[in-house]
Structure 1
């Protein structure tokens, strides 16, 4: 792995930067925490090559990938947040948002190999919990549904993919190995191994099997036609009542003439 990095353009510079980041992590987060932090930072680079075929070199990824910058800034901000350095943590978060267009609250818990592709417009709330090997695209919101305190943002389990523009809202859980389609709005729990699409989001595939739903357009409800049918029935009843009233009036007139 190290030899491969050395052979790439600016490979030695990458290793030097890695060493500096390791030293910074050790200084900020003590030995054990620093080693874990450095491992996560290195994995954040590795996952870019796994997920993005456009990534060509480590130096390119480190210097130009805004998603990586946002994740690294969050890892530092989250460590400070856990140490009750709230203002400093939030300041780093806001600076990262300004430069990357990605807003991640320092309180959010994010696992290993988290990948944000393109990234612009991504929002991740304070009580959001994200597992390992999760990928999200631009415009994704992992947000709340109100002003309540406590756990109010989603929990994203391992190996989940959330496509462009999707919104996952509220204290719900997205199960392992699930996929959220682009533009979907998810408001309910998603079981593991599922594919969700639509507004509101609905499960269309679970455990590799398509969920049977009658999508025949001829059988879809038509509220306008239903209302017109009700009005026609009411009109028919009124006509019937009117005919009965006319019949009774004719009989009454006949009796009066007698």
Structure 2
């Protein structure tokens, strides 16, 4: 148990440059508190003490602003940065070394009692405000941009942005700590608009060339023929 607690604290040190010391992490990180409360709730849940599991989870939601259903499955080195507004559904599955920023939702799209929440494999990073909705898999090393809405499977090492989420790049596997450079993510809508502007400029260039040719032909047609002078 203590090994797991140390691992959780070290995960904060690895992924939050604002962390200064162990006491600050233990007492001032609601994402870490939510994870520890979840583990207690999950212990009750898997032993079929469902009410105690839900009640413990509810207390954790009240204290931290993070709602993790006790039935969810969460791996090692899980980190929630800032925490407020995070929602993780009952059938969600989260691998090792996963990072969620505030406002993330791992939600479902059906009321049926089936697997209805997403599965996040190892080393996934989800940007703030992103919504991952449905019983599909987000592959290892994938990155989801802030405020994206993802409703279908994401390949390994892919980066997804937008509403609905679109894959904008697929990168090689990277070792080391997880990261998500929000300012460096491409914008597919802006790229499409830029392409349209390029096409418009090309059409304008062709139109101007045709207009000049038309004026030249018109000038030739309207010019009276030169009559040779009589000798």
Aligned to 1:225: none
| SS of residue paired to 2:58 | helix
The answer to whether the aligner puts 1:99 opposite 2:63 as a matched pair is yes
Q: Which of these residues, 88, 99, 111, is aligned with residue 147 of structure 1?
A: 111
Aligned CA distance change for structure 1 residues 84 and 118 (closer, same or farther; 3 Å): same
Q: 2:196 aligns with which of 194, 207, 217?
A: 217
Q: How does 1:1-258 map to 2 (within 5 A)?
A: 37-208=1-172, 215=192, 216-218=195-197
Q: Secondary structure at the match of 1:205?
A: strand
Shift of 1:217: 2.7
In structure 2, relative to structure 1, the CA distance for the partners of 1:163 and 1:144 (3 Å cut) is same
The answer for the alignment partner of 2:229 in structure 1 is none
Offset at 1:148?
Answer: 1.6
3-state SS of paired residue (2:159): strand
Gaps of 5+ in 1: 1-36, 221-258
Quick one: distance in 2 between partners of 1:152 and 1:81?
18
TM-score under structure 1 length normalisation? 0.68
Higher CA-based Rg: 1
Secondary structure of the structure 2 residue equivalent to 1:203: strand
- TM-score between the two structures when normalised by the length of structure 2: 0.75
RMSD: 2.0
**Going by fraction, where is helix more abundant, 1 or 2?**
1
Displacement of 1:38 after TM fit?
Answer: 3.5
The whole-number CA distance in structure 1 between the counterparts of 2:145 and 2:196 is 22
CA distance in 2, matches of 1:195, 1:201: 9
Secondary structure (helix, strand or coil) at the match of 2:32 reads helix
Report the alpha carbon displacement of residue 207 of structure 1 after superposing the two structures with TM: 2.7
Please give the alpha-carbon distance, in whole angstroms, between the structure 1 residues aligned to 2:3 and 2:48: 23
Which contiguous aligned blocks of 4+ residues in structure 1 show a shift greater than 3 angstroms?
Answer: 208-211
Supply the distance in 2 between the matched residues of 1:219 and 1:170 (Cα, whole angstroms): 38
Structure 2's unaligned 5+ residue stretches are 174-184, 200-231
